[in-house]
Every structure is written in C-alpha cells, then in structure tokens.
C-alpha cells in the first residue's frame, strides 16, 4: 500500500461526519413528513426527471456509466451521505430561491451539521472549548437590527462552527458535544460579543461516496473556513447564513458554492494581543 492509500486519522475522523448527518437529519422534526400536494410532486418530479433525460441524451451516457451511477447512488445511502451530497451540491440553489425577496442580511446554506437546542449563553460569552484549544482566538461581535435600524433586543444568535482542524462536534468523533455550538441571547440593544476560535477550512470526507465523486471528477474537496449562524428575533424572519474570512483559502472556489461578497469577515488583531476581533451586524426582515 502506498502512502496515499493509507487511511489517516484525519480520514477516519472525517468519515464519520457525513454518516452522522443522516442520523441527525432523521431526528429533525417533519424531515420526512412534509405535506406536498400531488400536483406539486408531479410538476417538480416530472421536470427533474426530464432534465436528467436531457443530460443523458446530450452527453450520450453509456450503460457502463449508468451502472456506475447506480452503484454510486446505492453507496451514498449506505455511507449515510445523502445530506452531505444534497447540501454541498443542491442546497445553494434552494437557498437562492427561498431568500430572493429578502431585503435584510444575506443568507446562505445551512449545511448538514446544525444541531438544534445548543446551550444558551448570554450576550457577552465564550463558546465551549477544550483546555488549550488550538487556533486563533476571535471576538465575534455585532448587533441585530430591523430593516429601519431599530435594535432588536433579545435576538438569538445560534452559532456553530468547526474547530481549528476543520471538525464539527457531534459529527466527528472525540469532540465535546457542544464544542463551538451555542444559542447566544443578544442584549437590550441587540448586541452580542462572542469569544471563540477561528475555524479552519472544511474538507469533504475523502473516503465516503462524496469523496469518491470528487476524486473521480478531479475536483477539490474543500469549503473555505466559515462560521454558521441562525439569527432570529420576535416578529422577524430567521436568517440562516455563514460568514467567511477575506482572503481565506477556497473562498473563490467553495465546493458548496455558498460564498457571497456580503458574507466576508476581515478580522483585525486585538489591541491586547489576544487574537483577532471582527464586527458583523445582522438586519432581519419583518415576519
Ligand atoms: C459543511 O461544513 C458545510 O457547511 C456544508 C454546507 C457542507 C459540508 C460541510
Ligand atoms: Fe459548515
């Protein structure tokens, strides 16, 4: 076996992530129970199947390729990677359609690694981390406002992100359950001051079905470093979004196509030398 074929500890840890996403999604309320009308299923399923027929004709897909697709699709399910596949290659267009009319802050995809009911923390807080947590400390601060600029007291900033090695708690093994996950309640002026560690870029697990597709197509497997957020306030629409780091690796080539120019952070060193700080405000549309 060559060095490249040898699964690394990183691979083993990453492999669990995609698989665990299926388990978490299945426990999501209404995941499979949505009531979608027959007319709508007919309309969308017919269009989707037709679109694939066109690809088969256009690309002259062979039986060999058809069987390879079948085998691959079966394996995606075995690996539990349908949530990963869909969120990486489909969700950004669903988000584009869903949020087209919003006037406030830009949203982007949720991805497969959100967990509801994270610990509640006050406006000025430090996210759960391990002793001697690796990485660059980051003070992430800002304010939640309405479209007219009114501060939204008691807004909730539900935040989750990977660690300095690109792993998510509850998806990669061996991490504390609520590492870098919290629901932060903003103060009376809608402000929050969240101390955390800057996350690293995220690599799609290389040894699952999504990784196999990426390798077979010769793509790269990376998302730029990002912080996920769900920001909400009474009488306002919740926004699901992510923030990225200006000049960071893969911001121009995100495999999940979820980067927008409005979602860039440019942290600066803190005066006291303790890592970086950055300010990002959210504007919520009315409900
Ligand atoms: C992620 O961390 C992510 O945010 C998305 C959208 C897909 C895979 C991993
Ligand atoms: Fe992510």
Q: How many Å lie between the centroid of ligand 1 and the Cα of residue 203?
A: 9
204: tokens are 């799609």
3-state DSSP assignment of residue 151: strand
User: What pLDDT is attached to residue 13?
Assistant: 73
Is residue 243 within 6 Å of ligand 1 at its C-beta? no
Q: What is the pLDDT of residues 77-127, one digit of tens each?
A: 999 999 999 999 999 999 999 999 999 999 999 999 999 999 999 999 999
Contact 168, 17 (CB under 8 A): yes
- The pairing of beta strand 156-161 with beta strand 181-185: antiparallel
CA dist 183 and 154 (Å) reads 11
SS (H, E, C) 159-198: EEECCCCCCCCCCCCCCCCCCCEEEEECCCCCEEEEEEEC
Q: How many Å lie between the centroid of ligand 2 and the Cα of residue 75?
A: 23
Is residue 88 within 6 Å of ligand 1 at its C-beta? yes
Q: Which ligand is nearest to the CA of 203?
A: 1
Is residue 166 within 6 Å of ligand 1 at its C-beta? no
Nearest protein CA to atom 4 of ligand 1, as residue? 111
Measured from the CA of 88, which atom of ligand 1 is nearest? 7
Contact 92, 258 (CB under 8 A): yes
Is residue 158 within 6 Å of ligand 1 at its C-beta? no
Helices marked H in the chain — which ranges?
Answer: 9-26, 38-59, 63-79, 82-89, 91-98, 209-217
Burial of 141 (C-beta count, 10 Å sphere; 0-12/13-18/19+): middle
Contact 233, 214 (CB under 8 A): no
Helix pair 82-89, 9-26: axis angle to 10 deg: 90
Nearest protein CA to atom 6 of ligand 1, as residue? 111
User: What pLDDT is attached to residue 6?
Assistant: 60
Q: Which ligand is nearest to the CA of 87?
A: 1
Beta bridge partners of 239: 231
Q: What is the pLDDT of residues 3-17, one digit of tens each?
A: 445 667 776 677 777
User: What pLDDT is attached to residue 2?
Assistant: 39
CA dist 46 and 172 (Å) reads 38
Per-chain mean pLDDT for the chain: 94
User: What pLDDT is attached to residue 27?
Assistant: 84
* Residue whose tokens read 């950055």: 278
Is residue 14 within 6 Å of ligand 1 at its C-beta? no
Nearest protein CA to atom 9 of ligand 1, as residue? 111
**Mean of pLDDT values over 205-233:** 96
- CATH class of the domain defined by 11-287: mainly beta
- Tell if the pTM clears 0.85, that is, is over it: yes
Q: What is the pLDDT of residues 244-259, one digit of tens each?
A: 999 999 999 999 999 9
Q: How many Å lie between the centroid of ligand 1 and the Cα of residue 99?
A: 19
């Amino acid at each position: 076996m060559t060095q490249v074929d040898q699964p690394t500890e990183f691979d083993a840890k990453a492999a669990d992530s995609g698989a665990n996403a299926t388990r978490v999604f299945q426990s999501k309320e209404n995941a499979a129970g949505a009531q979608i009308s027959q007319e709508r299923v007919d309309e969308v399923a017919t269009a989707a199947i037709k679109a694939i027929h066109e690809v088969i004709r256009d690309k002259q897909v062979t039986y060999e390729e058809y069987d390879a697709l079948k085998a691959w699709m079966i394996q995606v399910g075995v690996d539990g990677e349908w949530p990963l596949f869909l969120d990486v290659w489909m969700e950004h267009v669903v988000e584009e359609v869903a949020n087209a009319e919003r006037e406030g802050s830009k949203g982007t995809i949720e991805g497969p690694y959100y967990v509801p009911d994270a610990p509640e923390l006050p406006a000025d807080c430090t996210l759960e981390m391990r002793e001697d947590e690796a990485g660059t400390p980051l003070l992430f601060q800002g304010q939640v406002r309405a479209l007219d600029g009114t501060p939204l007291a008691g807004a909730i900033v539900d935040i989750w992100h990977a660690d300095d090695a690109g792993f998510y708690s509850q998806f990669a093994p061996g991490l504390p359950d609520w590492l870098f996950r919290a629901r932060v309640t903003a103060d009376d002026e809608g402000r929050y001051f969240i101390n955390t560690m800057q996350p690293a870029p995220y690599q799609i697990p290389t040894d699952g079905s999504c990784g196999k597709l990426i390798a077979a197509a010769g793509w790269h497997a990376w998302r730029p470093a990002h912080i996920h957020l769900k920001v909400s306030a009474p009488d306002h629409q919740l926004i699901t979004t992510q923030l990225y780091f200006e000049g960071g690796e893969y911001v121009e080539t995100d495999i999940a196509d979820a980067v927008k120019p409005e979602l860039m952070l440019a942290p600066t060193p803190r005066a006291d030398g303790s890592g970086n700080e950055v300010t990002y405000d959210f504007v919520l549309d009315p409900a």
